[in-house]
Amino acid sequence: MAATRETFRCMMCGHEYEETVDKGEDKERSCPKCRSNSIRHLKKKKAAT
Amino acid sequence: MGLSSRKAIHIPFPQAVPCSYILNMDDCLGNNPIACGKCAEVCEKKAINYDDRDEVITRDVGAVIVAIGLDVYDPTEMDEYGYSRFNNVITSMEFERLICAGGPTAGHFVRPSDSERPKRIGFIQCVGSRNPKIGRPYCSNICCMNTIKDTLLHEDHYPDVENVVFYQDIRAFGKSFEDMFQRSKQAGTRYIRGLPGDIEEDPETGNLTATVENTTSGKIERHELDMLVLSVGVIPPMDLLKISGMLTLSKTADGFFMESHPKLKPVDAPTRGVYFAGFCESPKDIKESVCQAGAAASKSSALLNAKQIQIEAITSRIDEQACAKCGLCAGICPYGAISWKKGEAAVVIEAACAGCGSCGATCRFGAITMRHFTDNQLMAQVQGVLAEKPEDKVFVFACNWCSYAGGDMAGISRIQYPASNRVVRTMCSARVSEEMVLEAFRCGAPVVLVSGCHYADCHYINANRQTVARVQRLWNTLEKAGVRPERLQLEWISAAEGQKFAKVMSQMEELRKTVTMDEMAHAREALKPKPKKTAKKEAAAAGAAT
């Protein structure tokens, strides 16, 4: 399954983090720091192996 | 396993339902012209028709029960267990076949490598289950009890054998299951907590060595075995995707079908008139499958025998004149309840519409009216709530089933939270359009919260994914307009999460205090609606977006 590294920002606490996202993934996101669900998808990065 | 051959005409397995013969035309000597034909000669009922072919039969039905079963995990990819390298490593299904009186060895349990009777057998649990590394994090539910049964069966056949079970946890939670587990231990089966990391084979004898960390003692152990049985998990059936598309069903993260509600509607599909029975919904044992099948049959007969069918009162209606024929609504309806053909106005199939309202929030032309939650009604609520002292209020859109009920839970639990929030209820968070959120900011709301059900709890299959996409777009819109995007928040709050509701409201109040009057004034100006494009241009833009 194709996976990419994506950047997310928590709109509650401002924490920015990267996560590997599988193509077609359907997952509830929450901030690893404050658990808020206000997670903004910022931009795509290069493909992961 | 290559231990015996099968005739071209055979019963698939002794307990097959129906217990009738099948003719494998790949192995048959041929019927054009007939080369053998002996089976047809001896069949008194004249049930063999060599010219029979697959055909598509069309039937009108009022209900559908989906009972498409399961597939078994293929352990080839887990190379550490040597399934594809060592002859004496078999799966639990192959074990069943070997020890079965109707199997290739007539129930004499022998090793595939030399046809000798093995005396030391290892069972490895959770092969293809509870393993996120291979994308199968779920418990297959049946493997523990199947292995316990296999050890008892094996020791019953051969009292001198040594059985060793390598496990993570033994999940013996059903009626009499614990008793069966204790009987297996009393019969001499050793249970070692820890899964082997490596299997080696002695090329001369074909014997196997399993290296395992016994997590109870904390020691590394090596076990010499004659044979190894991989207790393989179950996976969603191959046809699941096809059926899912045909009946507009959704899947859980594990890949099985998602039921309408895990507690209150465990056999109902979110699509009305469709019910589940058995493994396709989740891994379960025979008893549970039988219960679910009975419930599905009862529910479907109740539906079929009903003189009148009640449909949802809160449904969408499309104004044919206003419809721009773009088809966006049909594309996003989780129930496939909107029928649309290119160049024609979309039509709502009211019996199939569940009333989430995501179509209403998506339509850019005001062509969709969501009964009881119309755009005008919701906009009026936004404007009414924020008519006075908007700067003191946190504006909340809450879905009917979870977030709003979460607020109720906070209330009845007497949990304290700031009183600044003003909640507007919609059936689903997907009903909240971008325009409604922008209107709240235009009316001076310092903070807007959109809240809905957790992903797995969405009462409208997956409508709340529309909410996520919409909020992502809104963050971009706000940023472009110079409005701090953090002023728009998104939260999933379940009906049981009164504590979370209160915590989120406190966070929103803290956020509200950081928003200045200047920021609110700027948002009012910056988010003013632009002059409308003509419907024709917008339809073209919408069509390009799809």
Domain ranges of chain B: 1-58, 61-310, 317-526
Tokens of B372: 């009881």
**Residue B107: predicted pLDDT:** 85
**Mutation target vs B (from A11, A21, A25, A35; most B CBs, 10 A cutoff):** A11
Residues on chain A touching B492 (C-beta within 8 angstroms):
28, 37
Q: What is the mean pLDDT of residues B470-478?
A: 97
CB contact under 8 A, B485 and A27: no
Q: What is the mean pLDDT of residues B261-290?
A: 91
Asked whether the predicted pLDDT for residue B132 surpasses 80, the reply is: yes
Per-residue pLDDT reduced to its tens digit, B500-509: 999 999 999 9
Asked whether the predicted pLDDT for residue B311 surpasses 90, the reply is: no
| Per CATH, domain A3-47 is 2.20.28 | yes
Q: What is the mean pLDDT of residues B237-247?
A: 89
CB contact under 8 A, A26 and B455: yes
Residue listed under structure tokens 């701090």: B484
**Residue B327: predicted pLDDT:** 93
Per-residue pLDDT reduced to its tens digit, B29-45: 877 777 788 888 899 98
Q: What is the three-class DSSP state of B254?
A: coil
CB contact under 8 A, B490 and A11: yes
Query: Which residues have a Cβ under 8 Å from the Cβ of A35 and sit 6 or more positions away?
Result: none
Give the integer Cα–Cα distance in Å for A29 and A38: 8
How many angstroms separate the CA of residue B218 from the nearest CA in chain A? 32
B158 to chain A, any CB pair closer than 8 A? The answer is no
- Taking one residue from A and the other from B, the number of pairs with CB-CB distance under 8 angstroms is 39
Alpha-helical runs (H) found in B43-163 = 92-99, 143-157
Query: Does residue B409 contact residue B500 with C-beta atoms inside 8 Å?
Result: no
**What's the pLDDT band for B228 if we cut at 50, 70, 90?**
very high
Amino acid letter for position B103: G
**CA-CA-CA-CA torsion for B243, B246, B247, B251, nearest 10 degrees?**
50
Q: Which residue in A1, A11, A27 is closest to B489 by CB distance?
A: A11
CB contact under 8 A, A11 and B455: no
Give the integer Cα–Cα distance in Å for B168 and B129: 11
Amino acid letter for position B45: K
Q: Which residue in A28, A38, A39 is closest to B454 by CB distance?
A: A28
Tokens of B231: 């207790």
B507 to chain A, any CB pair closer than 8 A? The answer is yes
CB contact under 8 A, B472 and A38: no
Chain B residue closest to A26 (CA)? Answer: B253
**Residue B252: predicted pLDDT:** 82
Domains of chain A, by residue range, sit at: 3-47
Query: Does residue B144 contact residue B186 with C-beta atoms inside 8 Å?
Result: no
Tokens of B316: 């969408």
Give the ipTM of the model, two decimals please: 0.90
| Pairing of β B227-232 and β B219-225 | unpaired
Question: Nearest-CA neighbor of B495 among B408, B395, B398, B396?
Answer: B408
Q: What is the three-class DSSP state of B200?
A: strand
- Give backbone dihedrals phi and psi of B3, rounded to 5 degrees, phi first: -85, -25
Give the integer Cα–Cα distance in Å for B59 and B310: 24
Give the number of other Cβ atoms within 10 Å of residue B368's Cβ: 24
Tokens of B218: 């904390």
- Give backbone dihedrals phi and psi of A16, rounded to 5 degrees, phi first: -115, 135
Give the integer Cα–Cα distance in Å for B258 and B303: 20
**Residue B325: predicted pLDDT:** 94
Question: Nearest-CA neighbor of B372 among B400, B394, B391, B392?
Answer: B400
- Which has the minimum average pLDDT: B62-71, B240-249, B315-324, B441-450? B240-249
Residues on chain B touching A40 (C-beta within 8 angstroms):
472, 475, 485
How many angstroms separate the CA of residue A5 from the nearest CA in chain B? 18
Query: Does residue B496 contact residue B408 with C-beta atoms inside 8 Å?
Result: no
Give the integer Cα–Cα distance in Å for B114 and B95: 16
Residue listed under structure tokens 């009148």: B308
CB contact under 8 A, B489 and A41: no
Tokens of B409: 């839970």
Say which DSSP state B76 is in: G
- What is the pTM (predicted TM-score) of this model? 0.74
Q: Which residue in A1, A12, A26 is closest to B507 by CB distance?
A: A12
Tokens of B182: 């204790």
Residues on chain A touching B454 (C-beta within 8 angstroms):
28
**Residue B371: predicted pLDDT:** 94
Query: Does residue B225 contact residue B82 with C-beta atoms inside 8 Å?
Result: no
How many angstroms separate the CA of residue A40 from the nearest CA in chain B? 6
Question: End-to-end CA distance of chain A, in Å?
Answer: 10
What are the b/e assignments for B430-449, b being 16+ CB within 10 Å?
bbbbebbbbbbbbbbbbbbb
Question: Nearest-CA neighbor of B208 among B365, B98, B91, B88?
Answer: B88
Give the integer Cα–Cα distance in Å for B424 and B357: 15
**What's the pLDDT band for B90 if we cut at 50, 70, 90?**
very high
Asked whether the predicted pLDDT for residue B201 surpasses 80, the reply is: yes
* Angle, helix B434-442 to helix B375-385, in steps of 10 degrees: 20
Q: Report chain B's mean pLDDT, rounded to a whole number.
A: 92
**Residue A46: predicted pLDDT:** 52
Asked whether the predicted pLDDT for residue B545 surpasses 60, the reply is: no
How many angstroms separate the CA of residue A7 from the nearest CA in chain B? 13
Cis status of the peptide bond prior to B18, with omega within 30 of 0 = yes
Between B24 and B168, name the one with better pLDDT: B168
Q: What is the mean pLDDT of residues B85-110?
A: 90
- Distances in Å between the Cα of B538 and the Cα atoms of B145, B442, B545 are 60, 23, 10
Could you tell me what percent of chain B has a pLDDT over 90?
Answer: 74
How many angstroms separate the CA of residue B366 from the nearest CA in chain A? 28
Between B139 and B27, name the one with better pLDDT: B139
Query: Which residues have a Cβ under 8 Å from the Cβ of B250 and sit 6 or more positions away?
Result: B244, B257, B258, B270, B334, B461, B462
How many angstroms separate the CA of residue B504 from the nearest CA in chain A? 9
Q: What is the mean pLDDT of residues B367-390?
A: 96
Q: What is the mean pLDDT of residues B227-248?
A: 92
How many angstroms separate the CA of residue B245 from the nearest CA in chain A? 16
| Per CATH, domain B61-310 is 3.50.50.60 | yes
Give the integer Cα–Cα distance in Å for B453 and B249: 19
**What's the pLDDT band for A22 if we cut at 50, 70, 90?**
confident
Asked whether the predicted pLDDT for residue A49 surpasses 50, the reply is: no
Give the integer Cα–Cα distance in Å for B64 and B328: 28
Residues on chain B touching A39 (C-beta within 8 angstroms):
490
Chain B residue closest to A36 (CA)? Answer: B491
Say which DSSP state A33 is in: T
